[in-house]
Amino acid sequence: MQNRLQTADLLKGLAVLFMVQVHIIELFATPEIFESNYGKILLFLGGPFVAPIFVTVLGYFIALSSKSTSQLVFRGIKMVLLGMFLNFALNLNLILKVKSNLLQIDIWPYIFGIDIFHFAGFSIIILALLKKIFERNILLLAIFIVISASLSDVVKNIIQPNEISTYFYSLLYGCSKWSYFPLFPWIAYPLAGMLLFNLKKQFTFNWLEHKKTTFIILVSFILFMVFTINYAISVASNLQEYYHHGIKFCAWTIAFLLFYSYFINEINLYFNQFKLLKFIAWLGTHVTIIYIIQWIIIGNIATEIYKTINEPYILITYYISILIACIVITRLYLEIKKRITFKL
């Protein structure tokens, strides 16, 4: 159990490292860097390695959780509220500039943008309500994954939202540019995490522990990447296509996550006592607070330097500085929280 938990934290910790850089590239870098070959590679590293990891692990642990349905629903509601707070906090500089008439833009899409906290919150609520049904019927869960991955392609050709309903449909299937994580297709990933847990609960996979199996999976992973990497980069580096992708890229991502997670688990099995891996796992353990901190920093800085940095070394400096700031602030937050808890 402990090893499985550290593997999940390691996956999330690596995702944190990729996440900070991709947000910097998205918001700070000039189009010349953003659209360059290495810019596309950095966007790819900030794609399948980040959000799909977070929400797939989320689905896995919802399936594992012993909390009641009402407790999970309440957790989901808190996550949605946290997302609303974060939208305000990361755009505070922008809001103040608009209020002072220094910028003339529509601020509401920034305040009501559908980010990963909103998505995670609604996903927790939905999965909590369906959890007992899916526990008894793995096939039904697999069907839901396929439907979820393909539904947005169908719905977007049928529903034409008006000015008011745009906000609802942005949450549902991503009908706007500021809907980064709509329920469809993204809920396919936490459902996939739930499916993985249920499969491991009902079946044994001892054959995965054989060295020969590891070699076969490694060769398969290499071949998979060689023949599909160009396609994956082309989607992940086109942000609108990535955020609103269909069943083809969803299938690719789930296949990639299976390979990637397997090898991260193997690395953890043999090197889990290494300080570097423990540090990365620590990042994963505290991913929520780090996510909030990095967005508040990056979001408010972006108002001043949006897409103006054209020197890679300056972007690297921002990356290292913001990452260090996130680590320091997180440690301070945890220390203060511990002392307050101790006094209470």
Indicate the pLDDT class of residue 341, thresholds 50, 70 and 90: confident
| Residues facing residue 309 across a β-bridge | 29
**Does residue 208 contact residue 77 with C-beta atoms inside 8 Å?**
no
CA-to-CA dists, residue 207 to 77, 211, 223, 268, angstroms: 40, 9, 21, 18
| Chain segment 96-123, per-residue pLDDT in tens | 999 999 999 989 889 988 999 999 999 9
Q: What is the length of the chain?
A: 344
CA–CA gap between residue 229 and residue 209 (Å, rounded): 27
Q: Where are the beta strands (DSSP E) in the chain?
A: none
Which residues, other chains included, contact 31 with Cβ-Cβ below 8 Å and sequence gap of 6+? 307
CA–CA gap between residue 324 and residue 239 (Å, rounded): 27
| Chain segment 59-89, per-residue pLDDT in tens | 999 999 999 999 999 999 999 999 999 999 9
Structure tokens at 34: 């953003």
| Chain segment 179-231, per-residue pLDDT in tens | 899 999 999 999 999 999 999 988 887 777 788 899 999 999 999 999 999 99
Q: Does the pLDDT value for residue 262 go beyond 80?
A: yes
Residue 142, H or E segment: helix 138-155
| Chain segment 36-65, per-residue pLDDT in tens | 999 999 999 999 999 999 999 999 999 999
Structure tokens at 318: 């921002």
Helix (H, G, I), strand (E, B) or coil at 36: coil
- ∠ CA 302-307-313, nearest 5°, is 95
Helix (H, G, I), strand (E, B) or coil at 158: coil
